[in-house]
Structure 1
Amino acid sequence: MHSFPRNLLLFAQPARRIGSTLMGLLLVLAAALLMSGCATGALELAPAPATELAAMPVATATAEPEPELIALDHIHGMGYSADGTSLVVGTHTGLRIFADNRWFVADGPPHDYIAYAPTADGFYASGYPAPDAPDASPLGLFKSRDMGASIEKLGFEGEIEFHFLGAGYESNVVYLVNEKSTATLEPGLYYTTDDGATWQAAAAQGVNWVTIQLAVHPTDPGILAFSSEGGVLLSTDNGDSFVPITDNAPRTAVTFSPAEIGVLHYGLHTLNRVGTDGAPPVAINTPLIDENDALIAIAVNPQNPDEMAIATFNTLLWRTRDGGVSWQLLAAPPE
């Protein structure tokens, strides 16, 4: 069994300052909000520090027809369908689907989605059963190929819910952080290439910051990334070692683009993109995000890299179809 850095386990990480700010503590609290499953109220984050990127102008309004606007309680991951026609969002009350400029409630039980990782043939997820289920125990790891109408349980049912979960969009490799001992796994970073039949441990060397989110390369099962209080960390050896690919300013959200192989999108208050080949980061025109909020999820349309969606801790959700030139607001916090 590999040794595993305790700082990858957010709940075990002590609060500490970054420079003269409390960003480290606040990001831990941000992660705690994700883990709580029932926390409410605005998440307070310190103002974004200076980054390696020049300031971008605030995104302009779009001239497209106004989409339906809804309120979402929580957002725990999102992604596009393989054909690019639907944006699927994981929430505490099931899946919400945005298609044809309208929102829909997905068929199937309204499970409490704690983690949601899209793939070309469906998604992997973790969380709790729907409120009317006879057993309220954690669902462990599960998969769906029909937008949540039915699920295939892959293990750990009744034992644990996973908050850190990522999957290769095409490869279907699954990485997760196990936060407490189960019957088969000690705490640590693990991956499976056979839907949970077997698990491999990863050493996660070089992870020296509190981590926020996990993302997996769409086609290469050995490449993954963490967003963290120290920037974006990249591994090319199945998670055994990580190196920073941005400056060390905090980043809360990260995803690999399924439309452009080797491209990551990440951010705190501003959306950026960077290549795994060492290309420098590039800022993307982004809606103005309040300093007391931050990005929680990013999705890229697999059929069109210019179509992206971003969401924040305070459940604001925008979409662009022109690479960030203009954005449409699709969801806002409940009143």
Structure 2
Amino acid sequence: MTKTEFNELYRCIDEGAIHLEKQKGITYLEAIAEVGEAIFQEANKTTQHDETEQTLLSILSHIDVESLEKETVRKAFQMTVLKGMKGAVQPHHSMTPDAVSLFASYLINKITSNEKSAIRILDLAVGTGNLLTTVLNHSPLKVEASGFEADETLLHIAFANANLQRHTVELFHQDSLQIALAPSDIVVTDLPIGYYPKDEVASTYTLKAEEGHAFIHHLMIEQGIRSINPGGYALFLVPNFLFESDQAEKLHTYLKEQTTILALLQLPKTMFKDQQHGKSFLLLQKKGEKTTVPRHALLADLPSFDKKEALADMMKQINNWFAEELKL
């Protein structure tokens, strides 16, 4: 069998998902996860299958699982998930864009460039796994990874996605704010944005609200900082209004006490239809013996990822900052 390329894999996942969606009365997103699992299992040929499964296996028979490359799998899943999310009614169903995930992996490779041993990475809101698996696919290091996701459908997709990319990732169907987490070296999370409804859970956090609900993105920042080792790093995708809300002063005080703010990089405005949905990378280092305090934080507006020359120039400036300020 010839190597399965992106277009063929995408077509098979899409056709298989449409088939299951119709036959089983499930959503397209739920069907994607089932298709991914079916590909991974490679269906035992001696087992009896019902008509729905037989048709699915026929659709998937064009895929050579052994030849699948990690990035081919990730991108094919990404495209089908994006298609599914257009028809999803849940407002929290969204995915970290590819260019953003790749830039996150670039930043993480910069901060881990002096590491020799394995590192542990945690994603507090893993979603479909696109951000985390992008980081894993582009890291030269051995990485132990884990992720938490409260939405069962998204987690099911992340599970199938990671399996097909042959990543060993611990995935938990759980609200990451409700438990104490094992320490990690790096936290990377595209933060959900809005109010957190569980006031009892929020009350255990320094960044709880004095009145009403706390912001879930504030609580996750605190949980991320709690769960990294001293000297470890946190890379968050945060809303551009992070330091403008009525709870921002408390957040800023907490960050100064617990971390060194290394960088705030605003994503291109052209990525967002509505500017109030704009996001930035916030890079922090938890205070510890090995913490390096730069003379000044890296603050920049990133150019459009389509403008290659401008982006190359920006990355050169970022590389220089890492070399001069952090010796990386």
Higher helix share: 2
Higher strand share: 1
- Higher Rg of the two aligned structures: 2
Same fold (TM over 0.5): no
| Higher RCO by CA contacts (8 Å cutoff, separation 6 or greater) | 1
Q: Please give the TM-score of this superposition, normalised by the length of structure 1.
A: 0.31
Q: Please give the TM-score of this superposition, normalised by the length of structure 2.
A: 0.31
